[in-house]
């Protein structure tokens, strides 16, 4: 099967290693299967614009793309959701639906002091139907046929599949990667001050250095590809964050089921 995958960062912060960790797997899954990998910037999403204004969101689009291009990750198409507005409206109309109104307080509360995820309690914020509705439409327009995301997004699974059914779309598989943690057990997240990819660049790291660093740290057992041997323990970065791995690893994948938690449609 040819997989079409996507990485759709919200444009309210810089690219960090947690993003790279998810993005690399999506890219390999797509291209190793002969499919396509897309980057879609969520520059018009309500939870994005809740934290930054539209001008700042555009700035982050440029910053995110610069980091991804520096990493030399092959992307088949770059797109902003704001540029897909007419396609989105036509898709909704063609399927006999309407665009729901957005009402406060149905938004994702950003509270860095509390965090939005814990191993013990899971997510503390509810997913927003308004946002998931849009994701389903954008993914359908782009032909995405599998989702590989962070485990913190598991709670959106049922809602996502619900909207695909309501749109008359075939449901498909969802896979979830464990969250990435730093050497001090801190979650790698933009709002928690995690080092950005461009900061690594400024410090003299090369793209291969970061990929090797992730392979040594989170993507264990490189001889077998990026198999997550510590998937239940949650991967953590190496203690010496300044040490460059400096070696090449096999990044081919054999079966997606070997690496990730799978949720049946």
Of 7, 9, 35, 39, nearest in space to 23 by CA:
7
CA dist 163 and 170 (Å) reads: 10
- The closest alpha carbon to 148, from 42, 28, 33, belongs to 28
What does DSSP say about strands 122-123 and 117-118: parallel, antiparallel, or unpaired?
A: antiparallel
Cβ contact 206:25 at 8 Å: no
Cα angle value 261/234/245 (rounded, 5°)? 110
Q: Average pLDDT of the chain? A: 75
What does the pLDDT average to over 179-207?
84
Confidence band, pLDDT 50/70/90 cuts, at residue 70: very high
- E strands within 72-113? 77-80
The predicted structure's pLDDT at residue 53: 80
Structural domains of the chain in order of their starting residue, each with its CATH number = 4-263 (3.40.50.620)
* 183/111 Cα distance (integer angstroms): 23
Point out the least confidently predicted range of 57-61, 98-102, 221-225, 235-239: 221-225
Task: Please write the tens of the pLDDT for every residue from 109-143.
Answer: 434 344 344 434 444 344 567 788 899 999 999 99
* Residue 252 zone, left/alpha/beta (φ > 0; ψ -120 to 50; rest): beta
> What pLDDT does 174 receive?
85
* pLDDT of 5 strictly over 90: yes
pLDDT of residue 259: 47
Per-residue confidence (pLDDT) for residue 15, from 0 to 100:
94
Give the pLDDT of residue 110. Answer: 39
Average pLDDT over residues 169-182: 82
Output 265 or 88, whichever has higher pLDDT: 88
Burial degree of 177 (CB within 10 A; 0-12, 13-18, 19+)? buried
**For position 2, what pLDDT does the model report?**
92
Partners of residue 262 on adjacent β-strands: 175
Average pLDDT over residues 215-236: 47
Q: Which residues contact 96 (CB under 8 A, 6 or more apart)?
A: none
């Amino acid at each position: 099967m040819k997989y079409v995958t996507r990485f759709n960062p919200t444009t309210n912060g810089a690219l960090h290693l947690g993003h790279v960790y998810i993005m690399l797997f999506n890219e390999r899954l797509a291209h190793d299967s002969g499919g396509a990998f897309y980057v879609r910037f969520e520059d018009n999403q309500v939870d994005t614009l809740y934290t930054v204004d539209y001008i700042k969101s555009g700035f982050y689009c440029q910053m995110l793309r610069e980091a991804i291009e520096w990493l030399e990750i092959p992307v088949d198409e770059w797109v902003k959701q704001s540029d897909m507005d007419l396609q989105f409206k036509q898709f909704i109309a063609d399927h006999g639906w309407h665009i729901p109104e957005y009402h406060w307080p149905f938004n994702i509360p950003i509270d860095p002091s509390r965090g939005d995820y814990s191993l013990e309690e899971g997510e503390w914020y509810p997913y927003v139907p308004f946002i998931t509705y849009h994701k389903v439409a954008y993914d359908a327009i782009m032909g995405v046929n599998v989702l590989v995301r962070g485990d913190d997004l598991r709670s959106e699974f049922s809602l996502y599949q619900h909207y695909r059914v309501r749109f008359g779309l075939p449901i498909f598989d969802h896979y979830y990667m464990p969250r990435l943690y730093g050497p001090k057990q801190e979650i790698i997240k933009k709002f928690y001050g995690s080092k950005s990819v461009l900061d690594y660049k400024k410090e003299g790291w090369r793209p291969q250095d970061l990929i090797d660093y992730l392979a040594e740290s989170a993507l264990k057992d490189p001889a077998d590809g990026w198999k997550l041997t510590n998937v239940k323990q949650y991967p953590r970065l190496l203690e010496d964050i300044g040490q460059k791995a400096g070696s090449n690893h096999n990044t081919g994948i054999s079966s997606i089921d070997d690496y990730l938690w799978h949720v049946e449609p």
